[in-house]
Amino acid sequence: MDPEATWNLLVEAIIARDPDEARSIASDLVMWLDRGGFPPTISLQCVSMDWQTYLCKRLCHSVISAPLDYWK
């Protein structure tokens, strides 16, 4: 997996308000991270790899659990 490309696809799906696509991508990214994969770069600031992983997982879990009303 290319986590950078996957992150960009996730952002695009959120912008497009496509909950099915966003949830699918978020789930894939969380599985990748849970298996020890490296996170995408979320911030251009000097943030540790642990923080990058934490921030990515938090957003992915928020996308997965967001109610359908939120996507309107």
**Confidence at residue 42, expressed as pLDDT on a 0 to 100 scale:** 81
- What letter would DSSP give residue 8? H
The tokens for 48 are 């540790």
> 44 or 2: whose pLDDT is higher?
2
Please tell me the pTM assigned to this model.
0.90
Q: What percent of the chain has pLDDT over 90?
A: 83
CA distance 48 to 67: 31
CB 6 within 8 A of CB 26: no
Q: Where are the domains of the chain?
A: 3-71
H-assigned helices in 1-72: 3-15, 19-34, 49-65
